[in-house]
Amino acid sequence: MALSDLRDVERNEAGIATVVGILKQRLGDRFQTGQSIREQHAHTTTYIPNQAPDGVAFVETAEEVQDIVRVCAEHRVPVIAYGTGTSLEGHVNAPGGGISVDTSRLNKVLVVNTEDLDCTVEAGVTREALNSHLRDTGLFFPIDPGANASLGGMAATRASGTNAVRYGTMKDNVIGLTAVMADGTIVKTGGRARKSSSGYDLTRLLVGSAGTLGIITSLTLRLYGIPQAIAGGVCPFPSVEAACRAVIQTIQLGIPVARIELVNALQMRAMKNYSKLDYPESPCLFVEFHGTDDGVKEQSALFGEIAAEHGGGPFLWTSVPEERAKLWKARHDAYWSSLTLRPGAKGLSTDVCVPISRLAECIADTEADIAASGLIAPIVGHVGDGNFHVLVLMDMNDPAEIERAESFVQRLNARAIAMDGTCTGEHGIGQGKLAFIEREHGAGVGVMRAIKQALDPLNIMNPGKMPG
Amino acid sequence: MALSDLRDVERNEAGIATVVGILKQRLGDRFQTGQSIREQHAHTTTYIPNQAPDGVAFVETAEEVQDIVRVCAEHRVPVIAYGTGTSLEGHVNAPGGGISVDTSRLNKVLVVNTEDLDCTVEAGVTREALNSHLRDTGLFFPIDPGANASLGGMAATRASGTNAVRYGTMKDNVIGLTAVMADGTIVKTGGRARKSSSGYDLTRLLVGSAGTLGIITSLTLRLYGIPQAIAGGVCPFPSVEAACRAVIQTIQLGIPVARIELVNALQMRAMKNYSKLDYPESPCLFVEFHGTDDGVKEQSALFGEIAAEHGGGPFLWTSVPEERAKLWKARHDAYWSSLTLRPGAKGLSTDVCVPISRLAECIADTEADIAASGLIAPIVGHVGDGNFHVLVLMDMNDPAEIERAESFVQRLNARAIAMDGTCTGEHGIGQGKLAFIEREHGAGVGVMRAIKQALDPLNIMNPGKMPG
């Protein structure tokens, strides 16, 4: 089994040439075929090789997406939706070539309904752009995968991130969407009602489908009131296991933590150096509470007590925005800081998620496995959800090391699946985890394939990806 | 357009006779063909005619369901899953005959994971049975559609009910499930991790699919800690609109109300008589708060102030369990009490759900429409979600009245859909609302049909229902 499963997708050279010709004519400057732009629109973030599309279309309307999909369908050419390219699993690669549909110009916030706590945005709006737009409304969109990703891309990969423990994932926060299907049909799913029993849940079928069933062009999102007070802090622990025990107790006591992030000792060292912060070099929990002034004070105190029970502390927290921002900036930059641990190495990111009762055991076994495998692999985790990332830093010139990394990842994913968990809590299958989908879903993969074949019989929508 | 859309499903007499013979032999006494049992397993709760299956199988394992589905597939005979038969939309009717799969003996709670706040149950376990089982764990399953429905049935219809405003619907609380698909394959979807980006979301495709894609045999559910304190009360208002305004303000202020139910004056009269309670005969909100002792006190006081601002009150509330239970028993029996308003009449239940900003307008227009149409039609609503039910009590011997009711329902559903809402917030499409699915979903219905055809090419899974 290879680290990533780069399935062959046959190139339809004649079809591609025709489509490139048509789109150049129709879109003019908004259709680009230069090598550098094409490579920027393929996978750039991990060890997975870059497989560039044949052209990049900078679309401005859903109707343009529809037109491109129709042209591609007619000539049987792949269409790959592109948001900001921050996927870690090769979702935007073009293994059989084809057209990248860049949604960055679909950047309008269409409507904000403050009374209903929802908004409708075009797919290319990024989460930071949305939150800037919302600044004066008292509302915000909480899902925060770290990168300033596009909301369409976040929906397509069923993203979540640091505060899913409180606000859920894109599955919970996309109320409805508009998508261009493989035959060019524009479908509007869901509505703005808070609930519905009407028909199959197409919204949640498309959320997480990674452009393999349709291209999301706009989406309606749930918004939340900005909390009156936010408190955040960092708490060191004697071991990862002690930190996990504290997390489990915090969740089980129903303390409404907004973020609770584990960083292991190696990752702390990287962040300390990269972000120039005075952190301890032991496993830490980064914690944030949202609520009233009194509420966050009470929650912080309670968490401090729980931490102390597990040998952790001191828990230093602040509700001063600038200090919190600095703290979380360091956590956000964890991925980039970890790459500095081994300059020149390529990162292989893992993303298992297990029931929280199994978390301490899963991380402890994984740390032991990393040590036994002789790998350099820091850990960060959205541990309130049971989700953690090991970033294996590989010397791509050392086949033996790559093989050790490969075996490690297989054991890690198998470990999580055996614990009733998943190989991917938030990154998606893409190309990087395609090798594990059968093990995780068994006969369910057959159902996924049947749906894919029914909705995309020509296999033009992001081919070579899940469900494969 | 007829009130319900009873689409013809051709009867396969030879196939049915063969399957009935085989199942009699295999299941013995657990396969019943008596008329009364067959009729009990078809629609019994509203004006929709009863269309009985040809036999009822009382299954005890998922493998028996698999066996029945395989036999039915081989002979092209419909299979209809049956929970407790409390659907209001004809979901359990057998328009082309076939086999009813009664899940009441799939009644085991398989495992409760108190650390992870989840449990796995067989599909026939009812919500009351689950909550009895959980009694000593400090946990409960909150979704409460009124009837003591089976959890499999609740998942299949994407049910919710009075406390969805706080705890969500079955969509939010089914983490994973096991289902027998149309070819007899047993599929296990989801896992027990709190989140996943792995593959298409088959859990949420099956939740709400009403047995048309597969038969749910077990499911994993999210559980919640029983709140330390529960307070509940009733608050009269001078008008439905005033009550709605109070609801909107309560939701927008982020008061974590656990239930907030509207009952209009006519329905209050029915409940007062049926449940022998000393209620005012004006529109009322039934409200419940979950939290700490101090929390529910604070929330109750805050709600009382909001109510007063809108001319409502006095808001009388209690945290004494017996008094609350009596209060909510009356609300639970609303459906049955309303039938006493016009003995002999048949009830036609509506179920629109709109964005909360449009709720007051939608209910006011609907009350005016009821008055202008000369119909007897009380209203209850899960108004925190924007969802309300009009129960039109019809004299089935008066064709002119049926026609007036029909026009009224068409206008009501069109009104809700035009407000970005849905014709069904929680009852499902079934047969009763099949006529509105195209208007609501447009091209999305084509996608639903493609999925149905891909997963059930012989159309044996609950045929004649959504997506039609």
As a whole number, the mean pLDDT across chain B is 94
Determine the distance in angstroms separating the CA of B190 from the nearest CA of chain A, rounded to an integer: 8
Q: How far apart are CA B257 and CA B251, in angstroms?
A: 8
The pLDDT-based confidence of B150 (bands split at 50, 70, 90) is very high
Amino acid at A17: A
Cβ of B164 under 8 Å from any chain A Cβ? yes
Sheet with A99-102, edge to edge strand ranges: A31-32, A55-58, A99-102, A79-82
Q: Is the pLDDT higher at A2 or at A315?
A: A315
* Cross-strand partners of B259: B288
pTM of the model: 0.96
For residue A343, whether the previous peptide bond is cis, meaning omega lies within 30 degrees of 0, is no
Residue B166 tokens, joined: 């706080």
Verify whether the Cβ–Cβ distance B225 to A254 is below 8 Å.
Answer: yes
pLDDT of residue B456: 98
pLDDT of B310 > 60? The answer is yes
pLDDT of residue A1: 42
In the predicted structure, residue B4 carries a pLDDT above the cut 80: no
- Judging contacts by C-beta atoms under 8 Å, the chain A residues touching residue B454 are 450-451, 453-454
- Does position A142 have pLDDT exceeding 80, yes or no? yes
Among B165, B155, B149, smallest CA distance to B288 is for: B165
Determine the pLDDT at residue B1.
42
pLDDT band at A186 (very low <50, low <70, confident <90, very high): very high
Contact B353 A194 (CB under 8 A): yes
Residue-level pLDDT at B327: 79
- Residues 6 or more apart whose CB falls under 8 angstroms from that of A203 comprise A174, A175, A176, A177, A189, A190
Q: How far apart are CA B281 and CA B451, in angstroms?
A: 48
Helix (H) or strand (E) holding A250: helix A240-252
d(CA B20, CA B99): 8
Instruction: Give which of B140, B196, B358 to mutate to test A binding, by max A Cβ within 10 Å.
Output: B196
pLDDT digits (tens, 9 = 90+) for A71-92: 999 999 999 999 999 999 999 9
**Alpha-carbon gap, residue B186 to B193, rounded angstroms:** 21
Model confidence at A324, pLDDT cuts 50, 70, 90, reads confident
With tokens 């070819």, the residue in question is B183
CA B331 to CA B334: how far, in whole Å? 5
| Distances B166 to A137, A306, B194, B245, B261 between C-alpha atoms, Å | 23, 27, 18, 19, 12
What amino acid occupies position A55? G
| Chain B from 184 to 223: CB within 8 A of any A CB | 185-189, 191-202, 204-205, 207-209, 213
Confidence (pLDDT) at B223: 96
Q: How many CB atoms lie within 10 A of CB B37?
A: 16
The angle formed by the CA atoms of residues B338, B343 and B346, to the nearest 5 degrees, is 70
* pLDDT higher at A336 or A308: A308
The pLDDT of A311-337, averaged and rounded, is 87
Cβ contacts below 8 Å, chain A against chain B, sum to 266
Whether B447 contacts chain A with CB within 8 A:
yes
Q: Give the model's pLDDT for residue A367.
A: 94
Q: Which residue of A has its CA nearest to B195?
A: A425
| Angstrom distance (rounded) from CA B103 to CA B353 | 30
Q: Does residue B456 belong to the interface with chain A, where contact is any CB pair within 8 Å?
A: no
The residue of chain A nearest to residue B188, with distances taken between CA atoms, is: A444
- B208 contacts A197? CB cut-off 8 A: yes
Kindly state the average pLDDT of the residues A269-278: 88
Which phi and psi (to 5°) does residue A381 adopt?
Answer: -155, 145
Would the CB atoms of A159 and B455 count as touching at under 8 Å? Answer: no
Q: Which residues contact B382 (CB under 8 A, 6 or more apart)?
A: B160, B161, B162, B164, B165, B259, B260, B261, B388, B425, B426
> How far A29 CA lies from chain B's nearest CA (Å)?
32
Q: Tens digits of per-residue pLDDT, A44-67?
A: 988 899 999 999 999 999 999 999
Distance in angstroms (rounded) separating the CA atoms of residues A195 and A346: 44
For the stretch B38-58, what's the b/e string if a residue is b when 16 or more beta carbons lie within 10 angstroms of its beta carbon? bebbbbebbbbeebbbbbbbb
Identify the burial level of B408 via C-beta atoms within 10 angstroms of its C-beta, where 0-12 means exposed, 13-18 middle and 19 or more buried: buried
ipTM of the complex: 0.95
Among A349-353, B111-115, B272-276, B368-372, the minimum mean pLDDT is found in B272-276
In sign, the C-alpha dihedral spanning B286, B291, B294, B299 is negative
